[in-house]
Amino acid sequence: MLTLKFIQEQKDEVIKRLKVKRFDATEIIEEIIRLDNERKSTQAQVETLQAEMNSLSKEIGQLFKSGQVEEANKAKAKTGELKDSIKELDNKLSETTTQLNNQLVQLPNVPNELVPEGKGEEDNVEVKNGGKIPELHNAVPHWDLIKQYDLIDFELGTKITGAGFPVYKGKGARLQRALINFFLDEAVKAGYMEVLPPLVVNEDSGFGTGQLPDKEGQMYHVTADNLYLIPTAEVPVTNLYRDVILKASEMPIKNCAYSACFRREAGSWGAHVRGLNRLHQFDKVEIVQVAHPSNSYEVLEQMVAHVQTLVEKLELPWRILRLCGGDISFTSALTYDFEVYSAAQERWLEVSSVSNFESYQANRLKLRYKEDGEKKTQLAHTLNGSALALPRIMAALLENNQTEEGIRIPEVLVPYTGFDIIK
RNA sequence: GGAGAGAUGGCAGAGUGGUCGAAUGCGGCGGUCUUGAAAACCGUUGUACCGCGAGGUACCGGGGGUUCGAAUCCCUCUCUCUCCGCCA
């Protein structure tokens, strides 16, 4: 969430920039400022009374100690009223604070200046592309290829779990594992430290990265223990740094993680979400960085560059989009999406999303740093990106590399798969 | 799942109703000494909020209560450890 200081000091700027996200913040900001001011004055009152109470209590203690019991009892009588006022004001204070927080979490992150105006996907701006779109005739879509070569079984998944939970089999499973290992190895080579996090997180973690309180419905909730299945490794990995004060010299922190990801995603199930295009459970390798505010945008560029090397090595046609205000997420300040071209579906598939959250998550996480020798703490910046999400990569690889003989495996993956063609 | 013990500052660990934001040790930082380092010695060392400032307030796992006053007493939740059971 945004800091109160920022909102108070740059109110008009916040309203203006949130318009790019198509969010009218005028009212909510007025309310936040009103509540914050109320909070401050109530707090001042409470603290004055508490100070009074503290000194009175000390006096009573002294009186008892010196045996002046009567005096002490007299003084005691005075505290009752004070106590009541403190209690009353204290209740008001916590009520105001709760209301303030409720408003604050509803305010999205302000977008960076680079974020273009726009309503939705169609207004995203292509910033770069590469690779070659293969020319295939009668290309078979991946949902048919996986049946033909017996790589993934959706019906079996439906039988044991439900729709959107595929079962990978034989070379399909092996290819999946190859991609995971390839992505992890590449990330480690690029300086990211690998972590293998829990796939289930608590409420605090969900709040820290911004999934809770509002996007509850998108996660699977283990109600018996009040835990959530992670929608992305971003959640557990970023939360490793919750309530942490770093030294400036420790940044940037670079972590990567493979995880299964779980999404309830109550969307439609038409042609565009067929096969591997949208699943309830899928695999992903995520890269996460905690960076100094002064260079977090350079870090973002590096992360984008890293993802680019992946799609290039996989020989997939790719393009990078800068998300417009209407398509960028609630918590992000700037996001680049990677898409790869899927030759049989004849459309671009999103396979990565790389974002700078600036201090928006850090403020929720209480993730701070100190400059060398400085006493005051400042909020760090957090970033993350998919590197990469597997299912659509798999879809594109299968569709783009289909030949008369079978499905050709890109060279970089052969050491991982142990085969160079699926027949 | 059953029984017991516990949760205090970066770490270890004292404190069982007032003078305790909290002893002491270690670690960190600064200094003295030294050509430099080590050792020794001296000093310093939590976070947040309010306030221009002086200063004030809160925090001893979380929440609630008792009391003029709570790290300390009571209730409750969470977590950790030990033993037993079960188990990949």
Both tokens of A404, joined, read 């008369």
Name the 3-class secondary structure at A128.
strand
- Nearest nucleotide to A78 (CA to C1') is B68
Asked if residue A376 keeps its beta carbon closer than 7 A to nucleic acid strand B, the reply is: yes
Return d(Cα A144, Cα A344) in angstroms, integer.
10
Running DSSP on this structure, what letter comes out for residue A257?
E
CA of A99 to C1' of B72 (A): 34
For A25, list phi and psi in degrees, rounded to 5: -95, 0
Q: Please check whether strand B approaches the CB of A40 to within 7 Å.
A: yes
* CB distance A381 to A356 below 8 Å: yes
Mean pLDDT value across chain A: 92
Write out the DSSP string of A146-185: HHHTT-EEHHHHHHHT-TT--EE-HHHHHHHHHHHHHHHH
- Contact, A357 vs A341, CB < 8 A? no
Q: What average pLDDT does this structure show over A34-46?
A: 93
Strand B nucleotides within 7 Å of a protein CB: 18-19, 29, 47-51, 56-58, 64, 68-69
**Closest nucleotide to A73: CA versus each C1':** B68
Q: What pLDDT score does A178 carry? A: 97
ipTM for the assembly: 0.86
What per-residue confidence (pLDDT) applies to A29?
95
- Confidence at residue A271, expressed as pLDDT on a 0 to 100 scale: 63
Contact A381, A292 (CB under 8 A): yes
Beta bridge partners of A325: none
If pLDDT is split at 50, 70 and 90, which confidence band does A64 have?
Answer: confident
Task: Report which residue type is found at A63.
Answer: L
**What Å value separates CA A156 and C1' B36?**
72
Residue A175, CA distances (Å) to A55, A89, A419, A422 in order:
72, 63, 9, 10
pLDDT of residue A269: 61
Bridge partners of A337? Answer: A321, A353
Range with the lowest mean pLDDT among A11-20, A58-67, A383-392?
A: A58-67
- SS3 track for A15-43: HHHHHHCCCCCHHHHHHHHHHHHHHHHHH
The integer distance in angstroms from the CA atom of A89 to the C1' atom of B57 is 14
Rounded to 5°, angle at Cα A37 from A35 and A40: 110
Domains in chain A, please, with CATH?
4-104 (1.10.287.40), 121-422 (3.30.930.10)
Gyration radius (Cα) of chain A, Å: 27
DSSP 3-state assignment of A287?
strand
Q: From residues 324-363 of A, list those within 7 angstroms of strand B by Cβ.
A: none
Give the nearest nucleotide to A376, CA to C1'. B47
pLDDT band per the 50, 70, 90 thresholds, residue A270: low
> How many other CB atoms are there within 10 angstroms of residue A26's CB atom?
14
Q: Inform me whether the pLDDT recorded for A205 exceeds 70.
A: yes
Q: Is the CB of A217 under 7 A from strand B?
A: no
pLDDT at A149: 96
A163 vs A112, residue with greater confidence: A112
Question: What pLDDT does A342 receive?
Answer: 94
| Alpha-carbon dihedral angle through residues A121, A127, A130, A136, given to the nearest 10 degrees | 30
Name the percent of chain A in helix, strand, coil, to the closest 5. 45, 20, 30
Distance from CA(A373) to C1'(B38), angstroms, rounded: 25
- Kindly report, residue by residue over A251-265, the tens digit of the pLDDT: 999 999 999 999 997
